Amino acid sequence: MTIALLFILYALALSAVLSRRGVRTTHEISVGVERPRTRVLIVGATGGTGRQLVTQALERGHVVTAFVRNPSKLQIEHPQLHVVRGDVLDYGSVEQAVSGQDSVICALGHKKYFYPARILSEGTRNLLRAMETHHVPRLVCETSLGIGDSAGRMGLYYTLFVIPAILPFYFWDKTRQESLISASSVEWVIVRPGVLTNGEKRNAYRHGSNLGSFVTSVRISRADVADFMLNQVSSDTYVGAAPGVCW
């Protein structure tokens, strides 16, 4: 009983800390400047969201560079697709891939939950450094509901169990990732999805501030997240903001 109470207090304290760190702004600027097709670098291209990003970016007519650790894992071929092998923690490979792009879309993730890895933040630090060096203007980066002013909005199960018991290091790294992005000089959009599914692309989802629920977990497919992220390449609506996205 005492242990359960202590754990709940710890979970609530962690949620409070996550709410103070990370990006707080979710302002929405409705400028909506549309840009023509662009050269996009997709980081995390072999992942769940990343594969959707590559496929949908090609469908939209973008010239796509997929940044991958293992090219044989991608299994997508297209005349407008370039595959570059690299590791986000290796600045040299990041710089080569970033140079000459119009936008970078980051869907990095990993499964090293149980030790304080900094892959998300240090990888993003390398991306930002290369973007600033080579004047690549825009970064669209996937993080998660539950960070900054969306803390608690993954629902009770995540707030009281999944994040404090399994993902505290991971979420801590995500808050560092968001802080680095917001402190950079690039045009950035942080995209915070709810729980991800491999379900179909519905083309109907909600986005903006104050999304998610403090009680139940909201969901969205990786396909719809990719759709929303790709929209951010050509729209200024959420530049400098961290919208949530969910069904």
Ligand X SMILES: NC(=O)c1ccc[n+]([C@@H]2O[C@H](COP(=O)([O-])OP(=O)(O)OC[C@H]3O[C@@H](n4cnc5c(N)ncnc54)[C@H](OP(=O)(O)O)[C@@H]3O)[C@@H](O)[C@H]2O)c1
List of residues contacting ligand X (CB under 6 A): 44-50, 69-70, 73, 87-89, 107-110, 119, 123, 142, 144, 193, 195-196, 222
Residue 4 CB, nearest approach to ligand X (Å): 25
CB-nearer residue toward ligand X: 145 or 239: 145
Residue 110 CB, nearest approach to ligand X (Å): 5
CB-nearer residue toward ligand X: 136 or 225: 225
Residue 44 CB, nearest approach to ligand X (Å): 3
CA 89 – CA 67 distance, rounded (Å): 12
Q: Which residue is nearest to ligand X, using beta carbons?
A: 47
Torsion angle (degrees, nearest 10) of CA 101, 102, 107, 108: 40
Half-sphere exposure of 163 (CA within 13 A, CB side): 32
CB-nearer residue toward ligand X: 152 or 193: 193
Residue 33 CB, nearest approach to ligand X (Å): 27
Residue 17 CB, nearest approach to ligand X (Å): 18
Number of C-beta neighbours around residue 201 at 10 A: 15
CB-nearer residue toward ligand X: 48 or 168: 48
CB-nearer residue toward ligand X: 61 or 71: 71
